[in-house]
Amino acid sequence: MIDQKVTLAITSALQAYSTYSSFDAVALNAKFVEVFVSDDDFLTKVNLLDEIFDNNPRVEELREVFFDLLMINFFSEDVKKLEDDYLETPEWESIEEQTLDRGTELLNLLLYLNECEDEGIEPELEDYLKEFLLVDEDEFQDEYRIYEPVIANQILIESPVAEIKKVAETISDDSEVKELFYPMMCFFQNTKPTAQDRETIAANAVNKSFDMAVLEILVSFN
């Protein structure tokens, strides 16, 4: 099974990637959907997903965010077919071990957007940082460390996207939120961008094809 929002996110991301790169990523849409809807176990799906990227190196930079989509789809749909406590089993623990180095912080953001939908609230950066990631709590200092560039620059939510770009370009290369910083901040600044807003965001993007693909994933989930 595939979650409706995930289907929309895949399609929107590939369309945006095609628009802002010279590669027709939309042509891969059916291949990706086929992996997501299959009844294979999670690790098999990961291998099938990787196969698509291995065969299409032009979309390599989307590999890990699509892993995040595969993971969120697993939590939303696949897990319904498994035992209630599956996520606490040694089997799932083993899968988590094997995929520790996979994915990005986009997964947390998508989990947060699902929670916003469940609770009927509008996504806000401060709420995401303090209520979802609990960055102020002592036992969540890992999250604080990862999101430090975001925490330090929350004021950018009130600034033009050109300012977000300037700061995005100064973030250290080893930061886990470096690539996501620009699309994430643009999204929290404007969770329902119009076509004109998207044009402005694209015009100031650090990496147009990737940034716009991530933005469309976030908009699809909202």
Question: What is the tens place of the pLDDT at every residue in 64-117?
Answer: 999 999 999 998 888 777 777 888 889 888 998 999 999 999 999 999 999 999
Residues 138 and 93 in one domain: no
Eight-class DSSP state of 101: T
Residues 124 and 191 in one domain: yes
Question: What is the tens place of the pLDDT at every residue in 123-146?
Answer: 999 999 999 999 888 887 889 999
Tell me whether residue 120 is in a domain.
Answer: yes
Tell me whether residue 218 is in a domain.
Answer: no
Question: What is the tens place of the pLDDT at every residue in 159-209?
Answer: 999 999 999 999 999 999 999 999 999 999 999 999 999 999 999 999 999
What pLDDT, on a 0 to 100 scale, did the predictor assign at position 129?
Answer: 96
Residues 175 and 198 in one domain: yes
What pLDDT, on a 0 to 100 scale, did the predictor assign at position 81?
Answer: 79
Select from 103, 134, 165 the last residue of a domain: 103
Q: Yes or no: say if 215 and 207 are a contact pair by the CB < 8 Å rule.
A: no
What domain count does the chain have?
A: 2
Residues 91 and 118 in one domain: no
Count the Cβ atoms, other than its own, within 10 Å of residue 9: 26
Tell me whether residue 221 is in a domain.
Answer: no
Q: Which domain holds residue 29?
A: 1-103
Residues 74 and 14 in one domain: yes
Q: What distance in Å separates the CA atoms of residue 194 and residue 136, rounded to the nearest whole number?
A: 33
More confident residue, 211 or 1: 211
Tell me whether residue 196 is in a domain.
Answer: yes
What pLDDT, on a 0 to 100 scale, did the predictor assign at position 19?
Answer: 96
Residues 2 and 99 in one domain: yes
What SS3 state is found at 81? helix
Binned at pLDDT 50, 70 and 90, residue 17 comes out as: very high
pLDDT over 90 at 13, yes or no = yes
What pLDDT, on a 0 to 100 scale, did the predictor assign at position 30?
Answer: 97
What pLDDT, on a 0 to 100 scale, did the predictor assign at position 208?
Answer: 97
Select from 103, 119, 136 the last residue of a domain: 103
% of the chain with per-residue pLDDT over 70: 100
What pLDDT, on a 0 to 100 scale, did the predictor assign at position 169?
Answer: 96
Residues 167 and 71 in one domain: no
